[in-house]
A = this chain, B = another copy of it.
Amino acid sequence: MNDPGRSGPAIDLSTDLCGIPLAGPVLNGSGTFDALAARKAFGDELLNDFPFAGFVSKTITVEPRAGNPPHRLWETPSGMINSIGLPNPGLSAFCERDLGPLTELGVPLIVSVMADSAPGFAELVEAVGGRDGVSGIELNVSCPNVHSGLIVGEQPDEITALLESLRGLTDLPLIVKLTPNVANPELIAAAAEAAGADAVSLINTIKATAIDPDSNRSWLGAGGGGLSGPAVRPVALAQVRAVSAAVSIPVVGMGGVTDGSSALEFILAGARVVAVGTENFRDPRAGQVVRDGLEEALHRRGFSSLAEAQASTLS
């Protein structure tokens, strides 16, 4: 996928994420690219030209979930709100039906999981961690803990307790997906690192809502949702920067990555790799556009490799 118009020699984009080798630094954001549905829509051309260097699954839960009632989408200035509500087939159907095809994509697979209790997370981590073809597990911690009622991802103590209970269950890298809806995400990230997380990823969507233009109601069936897209990029960059400065485990940066320049901004802010979310909806090949654009941006800025940019500290 080298752009024939690009000038200069090819730049080495290979990297790794806590032991997961990656041909390039661009993943998808969980829940923003369904590789199996995309294969149905685009056929095998998708596999020949898979847009991401690693694939992150949609978040799965122990039990199947139907997701939220409509409406689930609202377009906002330079962004969108979603209130999808984590529809997924549940752990066993995922393992039996989806996992096989997902391991055939030709890139490392990271499975995203969520539960509302530590035993729930443990069940997911053990089941997924025991399957062939899984390279890592992302822990989506934005759900309220059924025992404490607290949102796990908002409380350092909850994160510590969760990670300690999971750490012994798998040798796979555990990536904690942070919520942006806290005053100091770096405290959560530091707690995750101390308790054994191998990486953190951020940002998830920012709490948001929309009012129906024609009635006194919420537009979204669930009453509220999360904001993503270029509108949130400045917030994501600030959080990635604060978190990167606070931890030494790698950071997956996301939130409004749309092109090579925005990807480079995340790398300079401290991210090791980036993930593309909302932009996939605007362009199914966005992952490649970002990858190729990053190569171009590195070249323009005089970096001779990705590693050089990853190592450069922002002043």
Tell whether, in the assembled complex, residue B210 and residue A234 are in contact, meaning their CB atoms are under 8 Å apart: yes
**A2 within 8 Å of B by Cβ?**
no
Smallest Cβ-Cβ distance to A237: which chain B residue:
B209
Nearest CB in chain B: distance from A294 CB, A: 14
Tell whether, in the assembled complex, residue A314 and residue B183 are in contact, meaning their CB atoms are under 8 Å apart: no
Q: CA A261 – CA B211 in complex, angstroms?
A: 10
**A216 within 8 Å of B by Cβ?**
yes
**A165 within 8 Å of B by Cβ?**
no
Residue with the greatest number of chain B CB neighbours at <10 A, chosen from A76, A218, A256: A76
Q: CA A261 – CA B212 in complex, angstroms?
A: 11
Q: Given contacts A216-B268, A241-B209, are A233 and B76 in contact (CB under 8 A)?
A: yes
Binary B-proximity of A267-282 (CB < 8 A = 1, otherwise 0) = 0110000000000000
Q: Given contacts A181-B183, A216-B315, A314-B216, are A265 and B211 in contact (CB under 8 A)?
A: yes
CB interface residues, A 160-215, toward B, < 8 Å: 179, 181-183, 206-211, 213-214
Smallest Cβ-Cβ distance to A301: which chain B residue:
B214
Smallest Cβ-Cβ distance to A265: which chain B residue:
B211
CB interface residues, A 57-95, toward B, < 8 Å: 74, 76-79, 81
Tell whether, in the assembled complex, residue A268 and residue B211 are in contact, meaning their CB atoms are under 8 Å apart: yes
**A154 within 8 Å of B by Cβ?**
yes
Tell whether, in the assembled complex, residue B230 and residue A77 are in contact, meaning their CB atoms are under 8 Å apart: yes
- Top 5 closest A-B pairs, CB basis? A208-B234, A77-B78, A77-B230, A231-B231, A78-B78
Q: Which chain A residues have a beta carbon within 8 Å of chain B's beta carbons?
A: 74, 76-79, 81, 151, 154, 179, 181-183, 206-211, 213-214, 216-218, 224, 227, 229-235, 237-239, 241, 256, 261, 265, 268-269, 301, 312-315
